[in-house]
Amino acid sequence: MKIRKFFCLFVLAAGIGFGAAAQPYQKAFGLRVAPNSYYDLATASYKFFITEPGALELNAGFGTKSYSYGSPTTLSISASYQHHFEIPVRGGGLYWFIGGGLTGYRSFSNARDASGRRVYDGFGFGLFPTGGVDFKIPRIPLAVSVDYRPTFFVTSPENFDEFFGTNFGLSARYTFGN
């Protein structure tokens, strides 16, 4: 409960401290890489603004991880809303954002545990808050961002985590519009 109150106060203070601003691009397509993630290691990323400060980011990709009984492969999709706030710097283009989203994945594995039960195979669905920094590089159509998505899974395959707290990502996207 204390964490929830702290998060709400942080969001309120941040909103008062920084004004929402328009992003210097309208759409962007590229790649998001999350080296510690087993379900979205590498994803195609499409980001587009629906309001001046508000954007949707859609991801589709894959992941894999080695476990004691095998190395399942996963296919994933996710969608998040991000509300952007300008960080005033010379030349512009630097923003921080907060938001949240949903993710779903399908893990494929033929691995079996010692009792012969199939493990690491099935569906996962989760919710995540997100936050990060987005920078549109001046004079070239490229935006880079760093984000954090701690994910709470509502359902997941047997032996997968219910909470995944190390999902940090790095994105590079070609921008168009504006």
Mean pLDDT, rounded, for 81-91: 95
As to burial, measured by CB atoms within 10 angstroms (0-12 exposed, 13-18 middle, 19+ buried), residue 21 is: middle
> Taking residues 56-83, what's their average pLDDT?
90
38: left (phi over 0), alpha (psi -120 to 50) or beta: alpha
Please choose, from the candidates 56, 140, 71, 67, the residue with its C-alpha nearest in 3D space to the C-alpha of residue 101: 56
pLDDT class for 22, splitting at 50, 70, 90?
Answer: low
Phi, psi of 119 (to 5 degrees): -125, 160
Residue 138 token pair: 């001046």
Q: Is-contact 87 18, C-beta < 8 A?
A: yes
Structure tokens at 14: 């941040």
Average pLDDT on 90-112 reads: 92
Q: What is the CA radius of gyration of the chain?
A: 18
Token readout for 136 is: 């549109």
Strand ranges inside 87-121, DSSP E: 94-108
- Domains, the chain, ranges and CATH? 20-176 (2.40.160.20)
What confidence category does residue 124 fall into, taking pLDDT thresholds of 50, 70 and 90?
Answer: very high
Q: Is 16 helix (H, G, I), strand (E, B) or coil?
A: helix
Asked which of 83-87, 109-113, 143-147 is least confident by mean pLDDT, the reply is 109-113
Cβ atoms 171, 97 nearer than 8 A: no
Separation between Cα atoms, residue 27 and residue 174, nearest integer Å: 8
Write the DSSP symbol of residue 17: H
- The secondary element (H helix, E strand) that includes residue 131 is strand 122-137
Q: Could you report the per-residue pLDDT of 110-123, keeping only the tens digit for each?
A: 888 788 887 788 99
**Cα(98)–Cα(27) distance, integer angstroms:** 18
pTM of the model: 0.83
pLDDT band, residue 59 (cuts 50/70/90) = very high
Average pLDDT, the chain: 86
Distance in angstroms (rounded) separating the CA atoms of residues 130 and 110: 33
Residue 80's pLDDT band (cuts 50, 70, 90): very high
pLDDT at 16 over 70: no
pLDDT class of 12 with cuts at 50, 70, 90: very low
